[in-house]
Structure formats: C-alpha cells, structure tokens
Structure 1
Amino acid sequence: MTRAWLRRALPKTLLARNIALLIALVMLSQVCSLGVLLHYVQRPRVERAAAVFATYVTTLDSLLQATPLAARTELTARLDARAQLPAEATVEPPLSLMGAYRTFQRNVFLDSLRAHLPVDMPALWQSEGGQRLWIRMHAPADAPRAPYWIALPIPEDAKGAGLDAAILLSLGLGALAALTGYVIQRHLNQPLQQLTRAARRVSAGETPAPLPTDGPGEIAAVSSAFNQMTHALQQAEATRALMLAGISHDIRTPLTKLRLSMAMAMPDGSDSSFVVAAESYLDQIETILQQFMDYAGSGEREAAEPGDLNALIERLAGDFAGLGHEFALSLASLPTVAFRPISMMRLLMNLMQNAIVYGGGTGLAVRSWATGEAVHVAVGDRGKGLSAEELEQLKAPFQRGRNARAHSGGTGLGLAIVERIARLHGGSLQFHAREGGGLEVWVVLPLTPGPAMHPVPPGKPRPQSPARSA
C-alpha cells in the first residue's frame, strides 16, 4: 500500500521528478547547514556574549551598591531605573517561522545570562517598543527594601546581526541550484522528446530522419540504436514488399494459365458445369489472395489529402446501387478531412460489402455526422446481432463471426483491414447495436490529423471506385 501511495505521489514526468528531488536535496542541505551554523557557530558566540554581559551587570551592581546615595540617585535616573517592571517587558514576542532563529538566539542568550547571574537577579528581554534587557539590581545597603529594575542595551552578538543575509544567500543559492538542474534536465529531455516523436512516426508507418548522435554518451547510444532499428525496419519493409509482389505474380500467373487450359481442353457441346465450378474456386482463390495483399499493405505508403468524405460515400452507394444493393443515406454536413483515398475507399467498401453479405441484405444504411473533435461514419444492417466479445474478436485477423460460417470465400481479414486503416488515420472502429435490431459499425476519424497524415498537393486525381468490379 505504501508503494502504491508513493507511485501516486511522485510526479509523472522525469523532469518533474528530478526537479523535485533536486529541490528536496537542496532544502535538506540548507537545513543541515543552518543547523550547523546555529549550534556550532552562533550558539557559542551568543553564550560568550552572555558571559561577558553578565560580568558587566555584576560589576555595575557592585558599583551601584558602593556609590553614595546622592550620586546613586543621579546615576539610576540616567539608567532609567524603575521600581516596577514596565508592562511591555512582560509581553512574549509572537511565534513565527521567519523569526524562529531569532527566538532561538534570544533563548540561548537569556539562559546563559541567567546561568552567570545570581539567582536573585532575574533578566527579561523586552521586544515591544524597542529591544532591551531589564535586570533587577540588588537593593543597596542604605535602602534594603528598595530593589529596582534597570534597562540595558542588548549586545549585537545576541541580536544575530548578519544572519538574515546568510539565510537569504543560502535560499538564493538553493534556488539557483534548482534552476540550474531544471535547465540541465530540459537539455537532457530534448533528445528524449525527439526520440518519442520519431518512435511515433515509425509506429505510424513513416520513415523519420536519423536522430542526432552528438549529445551525451548515454543519449547518443540510444539514438544510434534507434537509427539502426529504423534502418532494419526499412530493410524488412522493402523485403516484405518484394516478397508480396513476387507471391502475387507467381500465384496469379499459373491461375491465369489454368483458366486458359480449362477453356481450351473442354470440347464444344460438353457439360460446362465442371468449368463453372472450377472457375468459381479460382475466383475464391484470387479473392483470398487479394485480401491477404490488402491486409499486408493497408495503405501505409499512400499520401493523405483533404477531401469530402460524404462525396466518397455517395459514390460508393451509387456503385452498389448499380449492383442491386440500395443503401439509405443520412449524411450530415462534414468538415474537410484529410484521408488516404484508396485506403478509405477500401475501408468503406469492406464495411458495405459485409453489411450486404452478413447482414441479410436488408436495412442497409450509411449515416455520417461530426462532433467537435471527430467525424463519424456508421454502416448498418438488420442482420443477427453478435455479443460484445464476438464483435471485439472480429477486429483480429482470421476471426469470423458465427453469422459468417455459412459464407465461403472469406479469410476473416475484412474487419482487420478496416481496423488497420482506421488506426492508420488516427481513428478507431466501434460496434454498436442498431436501434430496431441489427448492427452498426462506426468509423471514428479525428478532425486533427495525426503525425502519419501528410496531405499531398491539391489537383492530384482521386482513384476511381472499384466497387462495380467487386
């Protein structure tokens, strides 16, 4: 429990933690230095001043007792002698944190002074109306019943002169040390922030510029390792792209030859049911191959450009209408959003195709709306609903819902491709139960483009929709 409380109490950033630790260490060192100053330097100094002052007081007391009455009366008048102690001399000074060291010195001086004076000579420190010491002198021999109080100035050593400047200087040095630590930590944090930004760009599918390696040795080692990792990822990406292109070519070429061979081998007038079935299987193989290629690519290398998302939805809905599938559109006014045209078209096509195939082909609808931070596109159908656990599992590759088991030719990559493209745009994929029955799949795209979104110059033509050939 203590460890959990400590984790909550600590600042979240390394900069804040180091500054807090530095301030704590500086304050601890200042407190220790002040303790050493008061106990081993100032205290002996005050005690010596009290001893000297006690000698002065006892000498003055002896002198007053030996002075004749007439001369003593004039002398006590000059010393402001009083028969009764003034009221302001009995007022204790208020306690304050800023004046704690003054109270400490005052108590040390009084304790030492009282230790050196006779017991019947009390001493009081007046703080109100000016600082001075009141000491009750012994009654003279010719007036044994008339002791009196006299006021004497306080020695400078007992006032702690110069200690204020020392404390302020210590606090100033502590603040300077904390400021220096802050500047040093900010300097160390700069390459870490560069590393964070570069790592985010790598996770978004980009290729960041190499990080500088001319900083401190530890930071330079991390930056160098990151640059090596980025270079290795670029090589792996190039190898993957080459392998995918080779697989696509090497598989599609014999499939095409197989189609031609089957068409040429069948004599005229023979039963063509075998050819139709075989061509259906070949179409399924090509569909599965294309889905694998789409999932492996997912549009990382495609540049984003600002465009009208509603226009893309209307064009796809028109293409599906030409194939006999009507989507009810409810499109609100949307701000301009930066997106990858081909990838976004693939995302919407997969969702609309899934609604047709797995949603029973009824209640097809697409709606869009915008909030203050994001644009939403929802594709709905009236198919049998799935549980929340099943819906989340559909985001993973090769996962198919129980309503898809009766359909052949799929690989379970459709929603995985949609999820990947949505994340590539900084968005997310959500499943919601549709009012009146069925399912709605929401695509949420942020209005503020992420680091992976780089608009291309205007005027670049958008690709044509492949929906009619799907």
Structure 2
Amino acid sequence: MRLALPRSLLARNIALLVALVALTQVSALTVLLHFVQRPHIERAAIIFSDYVKTLDRVFAAMPPEQGRAAAARLGARAQPPEQGVEAPHASALHFFRTYQRDVFMEALQRYLPPDMAVRWQTGQGGREWEGEQLWIRVHVDGAPQWIALPMTEDAQASGVTTALALSAAFALLAALTGYLIQLHINRPLQDLARAARHVSAGEAPVPLPTSGPTEIAQVSSAFNQMTQALQQAEATRALMLAGVSHDIRTPLTKLRLAMAMAMPRGAADHFVASAEGYLDQIDTILQQFMDYAGSGEREVPQPGDLNALVSQLAADYAGLGHEFALSLGSVPALSFRPVALMRLLMNLMHNAVVYGRTGLCVRTWAEGDTAYAAVCDRGSGISAQELEQLKAPFSRGSNARGHSGGTGLGLAIVERIARLHGGSLQFRAREGGGLEAVVALPLHQPSA
C-alpha cells in the first residue's frame, strides 16, 4: 500500500521538515529522560531514603512518651490516608510528572527497608505536584505510624516542563522558518509555470529573473533561451508563410488574368470553368495551409458573445441556401479570439453541409465553468476511432473520397484553435442518428 504523500512540493517539504523536527525532539526527549532526568531523580530518592531511615532510627531511640509526642507534632496517624496508594495511576495528560513520580517511587522503595511501606497521596491542586504528599510508615514505641513528608525540589524536578515547552517552541519556530524558506523557493517555480502558460497560449512572456539560487537561476535562464528560440522560429515561420502566399498567389492571379485575356468570350466555356475551378482549389488548399500554420496565435483574446457569433454564421449560411436550426442556451460572455473562433465554427459547419447535408443544427449551452458549442447533422457518420484520427493533419475520412479540394486539415485546424483557447474538440453520436461535433471552451481563462 502506497503512502498518501502530499501532491505539492511545498507540502511535501513541510511534511518532511515537521517529521525530522519531531524525530529530533523525540530523540532529545529520550536522552533527557534516560540519561539526565532519571539519574537526577534517583539521587533525590537516595537522599530522601536516607532521611526516612534516619527518622525511623531517631523514633526508635527516643523514649516512648517523647517519641509519641514528636510523632504527634509531625501529624502521625495510625492508619494510612484513604487517598494514599502504593502505585499511582498513570496520566497521559501529565506524562512527565507521572514518569518522574514513578521513577522516584521505584527508587525509593528499592533503597528503603522492606518493612517500611510508602503511600502516595494525589493532591487536588491545579499546579504540578501541588497537594501531593508521600506517606512513610515508621515505628514509634513499637507501633506503626504514618507520617506525611514534604517532597523536595530535587524529587519534583519541575524544570523539565519548562525545558520541554522551550523545545516545542523552538521546533515550531524551525517549522515556520522552513515554511517561509520553501515559499521563497517556490515563488520562482510559480513564475515559471505562469510564463509556460503564456507560451502555450501563444503569448510572449516577460523574461524570468535569473537572480536567486543557482539551480533556479539556471532553470530560468534556460526557459528564457527557449522562449527566445520560439519567438525566432515564429518570426521565421511568419516570414515564410508570407513569402509562400506571395510567391504562389501572384502567379495564380497572373494565370487567371492571362486566361481571361487569351480566351475569347464564349469559347470553350467548359474548359475555362474547369481551369478556374482548379485554380480555386489551389487557392483553397493554400489558404488551409495558411490557416493551419497560423491558427490565431497572434490574435489577441477579447470578451465576446458566443451566441451572437453562432447566429451571425448561421445567417451567412442561410444566405447561401443552407439552413441551420439554432438552439442557443444561456452562455455568459467569455474571452476568445474572434477570427480564430469564427474559423473553427465555419470549418465545422462547412463539414456538416458537405458531409451531413440534412438535419443541420447548432446548439450552445454552459455547464459549470465551461461553454459548449455543438454542430450537428443527420449524415451517415463514421466510427469514433476514425473521427479521432481525423484530428491529425492531412487525415481524410472514408466519406470524403467523393469530394475534391480538401487537404485533411479542417478538423486539425479546429482542434488546434480549441486547444489554443484552453478547450477541446469531441465527436459523439447524435440521438436519433447523425453526428455531433462538440467544442468545449473555458469560461474563465487560467490566471496569468
């Protein structure tokens, strides 16, 4: 069975520190009690036993009347007190007092004669040892008498309580100091996690400070170098995309113009239409590559209305002759990249039009801290395994074989934009037949 360790580094280090402090305190307490406190109490018991034996001999040597008078002045009684016991009960609440008392009684009985009984009377006071008395049985004029003797300070050894209180205070101070030190160490790690979230969101984080402990400074320096390399790669990619777009679209535009000027009006209309269709496919494929490479990283998120965006796109498709039924729930305003999210919804709605054809519908709703948008159709659908494979770039389903002009990047673009927003894309069978493409978007972006 595995131990249930805390998940955070801070909690683990604090738990380890507390365990080490507790172990050292227990070890120190054991050494204090066994090698310091016990010999001290045993010496006090030897002195006390000598005093009791001397008192017993004095009573035995005194004349009977003088002995009885002296015993009366000491409060002697013929019977032991009712509260007096040979072995007092242990008290978990007063562990150290019980330990001292047991050691003292054991040593005292060891050094006293066997016929000299000892009784301990527990007091009723609130302070340690207050009201507690030790009753000793001595012989006065041949008769046993019980005399209460006060406890000496050596036997009480009350200083151990103060020492233990100071030890506990120092242990608490050590744990608190370790907690503050660990907080200081965790702060750069929290900054690193925050900067990593900025990078995953496509933003340029502020360079991390490279001061502080060597290990933390090395990690921060390596992260800064990584972000600089990513920014350079992003700049190179943007420059390459701009060059590709210019170098390909410019000759395409010239080719369109040359065809329009070279072909007389009305001549080979089917050939012209076919050629222009191929040019449109090339332009569409190029745009899909550009969309996948960009996917909205440079666009700044801003608060918006998801239902308003869905309604606008549904109206645009209605103008093209494709009616989408809308079922818009109550969705709070959320932060998203408008152009990127519009591209996401357009790709899903375009797939529904091309491959689903009937039962077109868009639903929105909010649940917990997540907003959902589902694009639905009544098409034949494909298996869940194939749907997951379609998220990979350049993957095309079996139902796309009869359609030209695609690159297999549509759902990959949707998946990438959803992840850029901290969300996800899932496919599931629609009740009554068909397919639902569900996009989940967090209502609250992770704190920076």
Normalised by the shorter chain, which TM-score bucket? over 0.9
Cα deviation, 1:53-112, whole Å, max 9, x if unaligned, reads 111111111110010011111111122222222220027544333422222211221222
State the alpha-carbon separation in 2 of the partners of residues 430 and 15 from structure 1: 36
TM-score for both structures, normalised by structure 2: 0.93
Counterparts of 1:362-381 in structure 2, within 5 Å, are 362-381=358-377
Q: 1:450 to 1:39 in 2, by over 3 A?
A: closer
Please point out which of 335, 340, 343 is paired with 1:346: 343
Name 2:78's counterpart in structure 1: 83
Structure 1 residue 272 displacement after superposition: 4.6
Cα deviation, 1:212-254, whole Å, max 9, x if unaligned, reads 1222222111111111111111111101111111112222223
Of 339-348 and 265-274, deviating more is 265-274
State the alpha-carbon separation in 1 of the partners of residues 345 and 52 from structure 2: 101
State the alpha-carbon separation in 1 of the partners of residues 60 and 86 from structure 2: 30
SS of equivalent residue, structure 1 residue 147: strand
Please point out which of 274, 277, 280 is paired with 1:283: 280
Structure 1 residue 14 displacement after superposition: 0.9
Structure 1 residue 318 displacement after superposition: 2.1
Superposed structure 1 runs of 4+ greater than 6 Å apart: none
- Are 1:45 and 2:46 counterparts? no
State the alpha-carbon separation in 2 of the partners of residues 10 and 334 from structure 1: 39
The question of whether the paired residues in 2 share the 8 Å contact of 1:425 and 1:450 is answered with: no
SS of equivalent residue, structure 2 residue 91: coil
SS of equivalent residue, structure 1 residue 164: helix
State the alpha-carbon separation in 2 of the partners of residues 385 and 322 from structure 1: 26
The question of whether the paired residues in 2 share the 8 Å contact of 1:395 and 1:415 is answered with: yes
State the alpha-carbon separation in 2 of the partners of residues 38 and 334 from structure 1: 68
State the alpha-carbon separation in 1 of the partners of residues 285 and 44 from structure 2: 99
Counterparts of 1:168-183 in structure 2, within 5 Å, are 168-183=165-180
The question of whether the paired residues in 2 share the 8 Å contact of 1:19 and 1:178 is answered with: yes
Counterparts of 1:356-435 in structure 2, within 5 Å, are 356-359=353-356, 361-435=357-431
Please point out which of 403, 414, 438 is paired with 2:434: 438
Structure 1 residue 126 displacement after superposition: 1.9
**Identity between Structure 1 and Structure 2 (%):** 67
Q: 1:334 to 1:116 in 2, by over 3 A?
A: closer
SS of equivalent residue, structure 2 residue 83: helix
Please point out which of 168, 186, 189 is paired with 1:189: 186
Of 236-245 and 117-126, deviating more is 117-126
State the alpha-carbon separation in 2 of the partners of residues 18 and 262 from structure 1: 74
Structure 1 residue 148 displacement after superposition: 2.3
State the alpha-carbon separation in 2 of the partners of residues 301 and 451 from structure 1: 19
The question of whether the paired residues in 1 share the 8 Å contact of 2:67 and 2:140 is answered with: no
State the alpha-carbon separation in 2 of the partners of residues 269 and 322 from structure 1: 30
Flag structure 2 segments of 5+ consecutive residues without an equivalent.
125-130
Q: 1:328 to 1:265 in 2, by over 3 A?
A: same
State the alpha-carbon separation in 2 of the partners of residues 417 and 20 from structure 1: 46
Structure 1 residue 376 displacement after superposition: 2.1
Of 253-262 and 96-105, deviating more is 253-262
Indicate the RMSD between aligned Cα atoms, in angstroms: 2.0
Name 1:221's counterpart in structure 2: 218
Cα deviation, 1:34-70, whole Å, max 9, x if unaligned, reads 1111111111111111111111111111110010011
Name 2:241's counterpart in structure 1: 244
Cα deviation, 1:363-382, whole Å, max 9, x if unaligned, reads 11122233342322221111
Name 1:466's counterpart in structure 2: none
State the alpha-carbon separation in 2 of the partners of residues 160 and 401 from structure 1: 87
The question of whether the paired residues in 1 share the 8 Å contact of 2:68 and 2:140 is answered with: no
Cα deviation, 1:230-282, whole Å, max 9, x if unaligned, reads 11111111011111111122222233333444455557775454443333223
Q: 1:48 to 1:429 in 2, by over 3 A?
A: same
Of 28-37 and 264-273, deviating more is 264-273
TM-score for both structures, normalised by structure 1: 0.89
Cα deviation, 1:305-351, whole Å, max 9, x if unaligned, reads 22333232222222222222121222234332322221121111111
State the alpha-carbon separation in 2 of the partners of residues 88 and 448 from structure 1: 71
Counterparts of 1:248-327 in structure 2, within 5 Å, are 248-263=245-260, 266=263, 271-327=268-324
The question of whether the paired residues in 2 share the 8 Å contact of 1:91 and 1:126 is answered with: no
Q: 1:285 to 1:394 in 2, by over 3 A?
A: same
SS of equivalent residue, structure 2 residue 372: strand
Counterparts of 1:201-220 in structure 2, within 5 Å, are 201-220=198-217
Give the counterpart letter for 1:63 in structure 2.
V
Give the counterpart letter for 2:414 in structure 1.
V
Name 1:461's counterpart in structure 2: none
State the alpha-carbon separation in 1 of the partners of residues 328 and 113 from structure 2: 101
State the alpha-carbon separation in 1 of the partners of residues 266 and 315 from structure 2: 40
State the alpha-carbon separation in 2 of the partners of residues 26 and 427 from structure 1: 45
The question of whether the paired residues in 1 share the 8 Å contact of 2:86 and 2:118 is answered with: no
State the alpha-carbon separation in 2 of the partners of residues 355 and 51 from structure 1: 99
Name 1:97's counterpart in structure 2: 92
State the alpha-carbon separation in 2 of the partners of residues 68 and 269 from structure 1: 155
- Are 1:135 and 2:136 counterparts? yes
Name 2:128's counterpart in structure 1: none
The question of whether the paired residues in 2 share the 8 Å contact of 1:201 and 1:451 is answered with: no
Q: 1:332 to 1:48 in 2, by over 3 A?
A: closer
Of 288-297 and 393-402, deviating more is 393-402
Alignment coverage as a number of residue pairs: 442
Structure 1 residue 386 displacement after superposition: 2.3
The question of whether the paired residues in 2 share the 8 Å contact of 1:363 and 1:380 is answered with: yes
SS of equivalent residue, structure 2 residue 84: helix
SS of equivalent residue, structure 2 residue 437: strand
